[in-house]
Amino acid sequence: MALIYVPIALILLLLGMFYVVSITRAHHQEVFLDRLRDAAYLSITARQSILTDDPTLVQIDLDRYHELYGVRAAVVDQAGDPVAVAGLDVREVPERAAALAGHRAELTTDVWPWDTDDIVVAEPVFDGGDVVGALVTSSDTAQVRRGIWYSWAILIAGGVVTALLALLVADRTAGWVLRPVRAVDRAMEQMGSGRLDERIPASTGPPELRQVVERFNEMAERVEHLMRRQQEFVANASHELRNPLSALMLRIEALALSVPADSTAEVEHVRAEAEHMAQILDALLLLAEDAATGPVQPLDVVDLVERHADGWRLLDPAREFTVRSAPGALWGAADPTALGAALDTIVDNALKFSPAATPVEVEVRADGRMVEVTVRDHGPGVPADQLDRLTDRFWRSPGHSAVRGSGLGLAIASELLASAGGGLRLELPDGGGLRAHLLVPSWEDPA
């Protein structure tokens, strides 16, 4: 909107400045020309007084002129000596020298409202082409300055009204023009939070931008179609892969009942590999389904952590779990399923890689515009140069290759949190182990 308001303000300001100068000059010119006409009329009597050496001829006119209009005036002869005076000390007027030299009065500078100098008009008095004297008038500028101030006040009031009307029209016009852009922005936000069926009415905005809306709707339709095909593929793949794997595990169990005792260890290895394949399949399907595309909603993160902590304690009764948080609820914007899955993945890693006698510490707190869940274990951790690779898919630390897992847990947790506007940050705390920070955007209005 600033792209519209700033040019309008600059244009109005420039026009106002030009008009101010024009008004000021017009007021000054009006008074100057009026005094010039008066001087031309009085010069006739002044010439007669100078030629006849009778000051009374022009003195009567100067007194009357001063009485009626308050303009001080004087007539001097060719030597510059006063012939007739009406309230003016002509010796203090430098313009008389130019008039005695035959130069007519000219408008040189403008009168501004803060100027206090008089308007002086000095006209030469000619006789047959020769200069025989000069007529000088000096007018107070108080009335001119009042007129300029009055005109400026009207101009400023009119300018303010015009600016408000221009801004109102510009705001309405800009709102109408930018309406499709805002609609596209809202629709993209909705689609980013999982509302793939979001569309924009095609009649929104000017014709030039309606094509943008149409292209966006076509793109959204295509994206929704592709996402639905992907979900169908994931569902079909899940069904097609799980059935053979389940059948294979049943056959392994049946085989374990009939093999000789010396082959029991081999059967156990096969069973372990089948279970490992099932874990990898679950992780791959979770990544493919992108569970975080569920609708974002207000969520009490403290309550969710407490509920999941009860499940962790049941799975590992010997483990000490501590959950710390500020009193009351901390509301975040997230999909409960996605956040719960990410949290379970982090805690599962903490259980796998830390000794059974060490505690797992969980803390929930507000961090600016984020709600942060911190999970700290006391395991061996990883070297500092491997920390950034923990969220890579299928990557496992060489020192932990013997621990069960697929190398997808932290990658899943990171993607689930990032898709909802949050994130996962890992660090190596003092004292060993690993500290994971799960970040969720705060919810401004949970009601």
pLDDT digits (tens, 9 = 90+) for 321-338: 888 988 888 898 887 877
235 occurs within a structural domain: yes
My answer on whether 14 and 55 are in the same domain is yes
Nearest to 357 by CA among 335, 336, 379: 379
Q: What pLDDT shows up at residue 122?
A: 84
Question: Which two three-digit tokens encode residue 426?
Answer: 């890992």
Residue type at position 219: M
Q: What pLDDT shows up at residue 4?
A: 62
116 occurs within a structural domain: yes
Domain ranges, residue 217: 196-289
Q: What is the pLDDT of residues 25-69, one digit of tens each?
A: 777 777 778 888 888 888 888 888 888 888 888 888 888 888 888
Nearest to 155 by CA among 304, 18, 328, 6: 18
My answer on whether 141 and 79 are in the same domain is yes
190 occurs within a structural domain: no
CA dihedral (338, 343, 344, 348) in degrees, to 10, reads 140
pLDDT of 307 > 50? The answer is yes
Question: Which two three-digit tokens encode residue 80?
Answer: 């510059």
My answer on whether 236 and 299 are in the same domain is no
My answer on whether 285 and 302 are in the same domain is no
My answer on whether 127 and 211 are in the same domain is no
Q: What is the DSSP letter of 370?
A: E
184 occurs within a structural domain: no
202 occurs within a structural domain: yes
pLDDT of 270 > 50? The answer is yes
| Element of type H or E holding 21 | helix 2-52
Nearest to 113 by CA among 70, 147, 157: 147
Report yes or no on whether pTM surpasses 0.85: no
My answer on whether 264 and 304 are in the same domain is no
- Count up the domains in the chain and report the number: 3
Q: Among 133-137, 334-338, 400-404, 412-416, where is mean pLDDT lowest?
A: 400-404
My answer on whether 327 and 272 are in the same domain is no
3-state secondary structure 103-123: CCCCCCCCCCCCCCCCEEEEE
Q: What is the pLDDT of residues 207-258, one digit of tens each?
A: 767 777 788 888 888 887 887 787 677 667 766 777 788 888 888 888 778 8
- Partners of 76 in the β-ladder: 82, 134
My answer on whether 142 and 219 are in the same domain is no
178 occurs within a structural domain: no
My answer on whether 324 and 386 are in the same domain is yes
Domain boundary among 258, 289, 320: 289
My answer on whether 311 and 282 are in the same domain is no
Burial 73-95 (b: 16+ CB within 10 A, else e): bbbbbeeeebbbbbebebeebeb
> 124 or 30: which carries more pLDDT confidence?
124
Domain boundary among 289, 304, 334: 289
Cα(22)–Cα(300) distance, integer angstroms: 67
Nearest to 62 by CA among 76, 79, 81: 76
- CATH number, residue 11: 3.30.450.20
With tokens 């996402």, the residue in question is 227
Q: What pLDDT shows up at residue 402?
A: 47
Average pLDDT over the chain reads 78
Q: How far is CA 253 from the centre of its chain?
A: 64
Q: What is the pLDDT of residues 174-204, one digit of tens each?
A: 777 777 777 777 777 777 666 777 777 766 6
- CATH number, residue 254: 1.10.287
- CATH number, residue 428: 3.30.565.10
Q: What is the pLDDT of residues 63-122, one digit of tens each?
A: 888 888 888 888 888 888 888 888 888 777 777 787 788 777 776 666 566 666 678 888
My answer on whether 201 and 262 are in the same domain is yes
345 occurs within a structural domain: yes
pLDDT of 446 > 50? The answer is no
Cα(19)–Cα(220) distance, integer angstroms: 53
29 occurs within a structural domain: yes
Q: What is the pLDDT of residues 127-175, one digit of tens each?
A: 878 888 888 888 876 777 777 777 778 878 887 888 788 778 877 777 7
Q: What pLDDT shows up at residue 21?
A: 75
My answer on whether 314 and 256 are in the same domain is no
**Greatest C-alpha distance within the chain:** 157
Domain boundary among 106, 129, 147: 147
Q: What pLDDT shows up at residue 318?
A: 80
Q: What is the DSSP letter of 202?
A: T
